[in-house]
Each structure stands twice: as C-alpha cells, then as structure tokens.
Structure 1
Amino acid sequence: MRTLHVVAHPEATHHVEKVVGGWHDSRLTPAGVRAAVSIARELRARIPGGAEVELFSSDLLRTLRTADEVAGLFGVEPMADRRLREKSYGEAGGKPQEWLDRRFVPPPPVGERMDHDEGVAGAETKGACARRVYAAMDEILERPCEHQIIVTHGGSLTFVVASWIRMPIESAGYASFRAPSGSITTLREDDFFHNRQVVGLGDTRHLESARTD
C-alpha cells in the first residue's frame, strides 16, 4: 500500500498583500506558520510510527517553511525540487493581482489549451508547468516508499493529482483539482489491484486548531 499526502502550503504573504504568487518567493504569514504546525501534527497522527516516510517540497520559501515543520516531527530531511513549484506568471510575479487580471488572456474552451499564450511576458504555459510536475512525480513514484509527503502549491497540485491517476497531459488541460491553502489531499494505491484512488481532496479540518490557538 502506498499513500501520498499532498500538502498545499498555507497562507503566505502574497495572499494577504493581494499580489501574484507563482515564482514570486513569498513567505508564510504568522497565520501560515501556525497552520503549518497543524499540518505537521495532522500528518504525524495519520502516519503510523515506524512507517517509512519521504518528504518532497517545492523549493520556494513558503513551501520549504511548511516542509520544515513536517520534517521536525518525522525526523526526515525535505527533498527540495523546483519542478514542484507553482506555475510561473513571468513579469506578473509579485505585481498586484489586478495588474495580471487586466492582461490575462484565458484559454479557449476548445483547441490549444496547454500551450496557450496567456498574454504576459515570461509566463509559463500550462503545458510547461504540467510537464515538469509530471516529470517530478515520475521520479517520486519510482521510489518504493509506503508514505510520501509532497508539499506544493494550489495550482501545481492539479498536476500532481492528474499525474497520479495517469491522466494524459493533453487531457490535463481541462483538469482542475481545487485544494485550499493549508489543505491535505490523500492519494492511495492498493497492493492487489494497484488501483490509484483520490481518497480525500483538499481536507482542511486540521486547520481548526490553528485558528483557535
């Protein structure tokens, strides 16, 4: 039995400042740090003691800070991988969200969606983002580990899940698996049929303690 625990990092400064995230290297807010503690505790409660655990993270500050809380409870080192980053928004990164909203060109309902030009200089296409996340997931899943924790971003989480269920990349242009900040998504593969399940998407129940602490 293999279980993936996919964490969408909690509240970061770009959320409260209402600026574009992407590769803009924002940090967790104090509320985000408290949520990261709750995430780590929840994962520790879910994963049996003595189980083999690996921890992977996007290499941006907000995900690494989240991963550090998890690492402290499991006694493992996070493996940073830039391929698990959020989609890059090019020159829009760090600018006000309304700046991007005025310039953003949405993809067509049919036709070319994965390599669609969104109208922002230097922005990564959805296809480029998907291909690097899929490549990272291929390497993660080659490792025979019972419990793997992946700390990533809300947007790139879609491609983590799409890769897990072996959705062809060209079909992933229509996929959207929405998971709130600070949530845990649980993916599981059984040892008999080797079916891959999405057991829970975007669970935030553990964040109640962070709000009351």
Structure 2
Amino acid sequence: MKKRHAALAALALVGILSGCGQAETQPADNTISITPVEQKTNGSQIDKSVKYEFSGNHADANGIEIQRYEWDGSAWNKDDYGLFTVNSEKVGESSGIIQFDPETDAVNAEYNINIQSDDFGGSMQFADSSKLSGLPTEWLTSAVAMREEKIDDLAVDIEIPLLVRTFRTDGTQVLVVIDAFADPENSAAVKHSSYAEAYTVKFVKNDNL
C-alpha cells in the first residue's frame, strides 16, 4: 500500500508540474498578444502588406496607438502628424488586425494603416511624408523588417516597433532588421539610408475616455 501511495503521489506531482509548464505558455492577464501574419523580411517592400493579429487577455486597455517615426541621421523622431489612434472600451477584450498596405506599387508608396476588429469596428488611416514622396525614384530601393516572433505578454502602455523601412537612392540595398528601431547605431541599413521610417504600436488605458 505504501508503494501504491508513493506512486500516486509521484503521478500527482507530475500533473502539477505539467500544469505549471502549460500555464507559463499562456498569456498573462492584463496583457496583449501580437502575432505576425504576413512576413516580409530580408527583402524589398513594394507591393506586399504587413499584417499582425492582436488579442487582448482581459487587458485594461481602451485604445490602440500607432506612432510613425522618421530617422534624422542620428535619432528616431516622432512624426508630428504620425499618431494614429483607435479608441474603444472593448480593446482589452477583443481580437483584430493591424495591417500596413502600400497605397500604390511605387517603391516609396505611403502606407495605409488598417486597424479592424469585429468587436469594435476600426479605422483606416494613412501617413503622408513630404520627405518620402520627395525621394528620387530612378535608383530608389527599399528594405523592410517586421517582427518575426509572436509576443504573448505585451503589457499595457508599452511601445514596441511593428515595422522599420529604409530607402537608398544609389540602387544598392542594405537589409534591415526590426531591432534597428531600438538599436539604430548598430544598423548599417538605418545609419546609411537616404530615408528611414518606423511604426510602433502601444495599447493604452486612457482615463479621459
């Protein structure tokens, strides 16, 4: 009997440990999951969209902010007119998509930004940069990076990059990675670009809504 009790106790312990392992892979409460759907890394960005799916896990969020940045040669600066927002009390309990679609097939096409959810509707907005549209197009090349790994535990009010895009006007191409936003000094693609832009996302709790 003692051996049987010991065996049952061992099985119970295995079950507990297995349960703990499974729990660690689940999103924590009050966080957001972000999953890349269409990946376009290590190449040019001409006519393919970049898409993410998001899902709230009882997150205390009522808004989504997409911020556009421009590289000034030494730092990323927020575009004064590049903050795009969607507000809804249902954000933290909802799922949906965040998608970037080039407006045309031109190399330097602006992105249309589409945020949609069956739970709260959504919004489509577009960027408008005179610097980007003013680039000479004859020898223009671009490279784009997006996140490759799913994030299960994005906290509310934490900003992360979703897309980095660089341009060169000499016909050559230097590949870019998503880490170039956080660490531009180690990115040849950004440092030696003719123009570079980035888009970030932040799920927010706005007490004034």
Same fold (TM over 0.5): no
Higher helix proportion, which one?
Answer: 1
Bigger proportion of residues as strand:
2
- TM bin, normalised by shorter chain, reads under 0.3
- Tell me the TM-score normalised to structure 1 length: 0.25
| TM-score, L = length of structure 2 | 0.26
* Higher relative contact order, chain-length normalized (CA < 8 Å, sep 6+): 1
